[in-house]
Amino acid sequence: MDWRDWFFSTPLVTRSVMATVVVTFVFSPFFPLIIDGIQICPYYVLTRLQVWRLLTPVFYCRSIISLIFQLIIFNRLGVRKEQEQGTLRFGATFILYELLINSLMCASAILLSILHPNFLSPEYHARGGLLPLLFTLGTQKCLSNPNTQTTFLALTMPTIYFPLFLLGLFVLLGESLLEAGAAVAVGYCYHYGHLNSIFPTTEWLTEVEKHPLVHRFIASRRGYVDLEQAASNSLPVTAPPEGAQGVNEWSRFMRSTLGDGEATDGQGAAPGAPRAQFPGRGQPLGGSAGEVAHAPTVARPPWGPIPASAPAFSLGNQLPPASGGARSGDIPHSAGGTEQESLSARQMRARMLFQAHEQRIRELMAMEAHVQAHIQAQLQRVPVPGVGGGEDQAASGDEATEAGDAAGESALGTAREMPEAARTAERAGRPPVRWAEAEAQEDHSMQSPSICMLPILSAARLLIHFCSASAAIRAPWANLLDT
């Protein structure tokens, strides 16, 4: 991925903060006075009222190692927070966190100056950077599951006290006690709801987001996450039961930051992975599970080609779903339910079902006629031993095959227009299949593959006789139509 694509795909506030931190670090050797003026110093804030120092220390890092470490963590954590809260809310939270952390640090410097007067001297400058903000966000992350246990190396402790353990560890490594302690304290105060009154509400942020100037200069930029999109991105997370054994919060956080795909968030999913979504597709009851994007593939039957007038047979309503999720011949369902349907609607539904059933019977009869004609043509092509004129028999057999195909096509065409009385009379007067003649010619006809279609013909006839039991099938519909 190109760095431009990565940069503009990062949410607006996160990438703006990271770009400002990098630019400040690059130009810090050339502008030492400006760098000295943006660092947090309780003496200048309290005595000279340089209040801008309460907000600017986050944009300066003193070492390249600290810069890389903080950018990696803030990139992972800031992107997630901004996508869950929205750009406007995350920006307001970022500013309020910085003001609260640095204000609490200045107040702590006044109280602790009795024990250590250097806290109020002009030479005292806190380290600044993104680390205090990361302490606050990390505290919120640990307190999201306060009833779990956390194991760090060989130490097991409640997760609610894990931020205090990290505070002591970083202070031993050289971090400022006032700055890190103020950041952890802000995280605890936010978790217990003591800061809810100073944070903006959703209604106020929605009104600000609709302002023309905000939409023109902020909301129109790439990477902006509006409040509606943030609400769809955030999903509720079920907390573990009380007393459950948690995973290593610190190692889990570090593995997720460095991109380890095996780290989990306690719920069975990787922290950096997209949230699980319901894989199902909603559909109305009685509808189809989906729609086909192409025409159905009709297999060529072994007894011969399908006539051109019948591109597909709807045997048992096996056609693929049409547009809207319904199949050919299905009864349309009314949107109002059965109780709201009128008598005319029910009669129309019964009539459509009756017509669909009759259409399927006609197609089955046409299919049977086509199969019979093709088998008779194939039987005529079988040469009889001891009888001359094999070539003439083959030629006449080809002609019979073509005639049988033509007869099958014509039978299929006429079956669709056949009235009920004529079709019943034809079924009653149709002669039975001459099974004795077929068995007598078995020795000669086994050489032809067409004799293998006799079981298929038998199954087709059984299916037609089953479907033609109209006395038991059409009686309820006829009674309904009579009413």
What pLDDT tens digit does each residue of the chain (483 aa) get? Answer: 677 888 888 899 999 999 999 999 999 889 888 888 888 888 898 888 888 999 989 998 888 998 999 999 998 888 888 988 889 999 999 999 999 999 999 998 888 888 888 888 888 888 778 989 999 988 888 888 878 888 887 788 888 888 888 888 888 888 888 888 999 999 999 888 888 888 888 889 888 888 889 888 888 888 888 888 777 665 444 444 444 444 444 445 545 544 444 334 444 444 444 444 444 444 444 444 444 444 444 455 545 554 544 444 444 444 444 444 444 444 444 444 444 457 778 888 888 888 888 888 888 888 888 888 888 887 876 554 544 444 555 455 556 556 656 655 665 555 555 555 445 544 555 444 444 444 445 444 444 444 555 666 666 666 666 666 555 555 555 555 455
Q: Where are the domains of the chain?
A: 3-234+242-257, 343-382+394-482
Which residue is listed with tokens 């006690």? 177
Fold of 3-234+242-257: Rhomboid-like fold (1.20.1540)
Token pair belonging to 284: 């109305």
Cα 251–257–259 angle (5° rounding)? 105
Burial environment of residue 78 by CB neighbours within 10 A (0 to 12, 13 to 18, 19 or more): buried
Token pair belonging to 452: 């293998």
Calpha distance 27→283 (Å, rounded)? 59
Which residue is listed with tokens 């100056």? 113
Calpha distance 5→316 (Å, rounded)? 54
Kindly give the interhelix angle for 249-257 and 162-172, rounded to the nearest 10 degrees.
Answer: 70
Helix residue ranges per DSSP H, 173-225: 177-191, 202-209, 212-214
Longest dimension (CA), the chain: 129
What is the end-to-end Cα distance of the chain in Å, rounded? 71
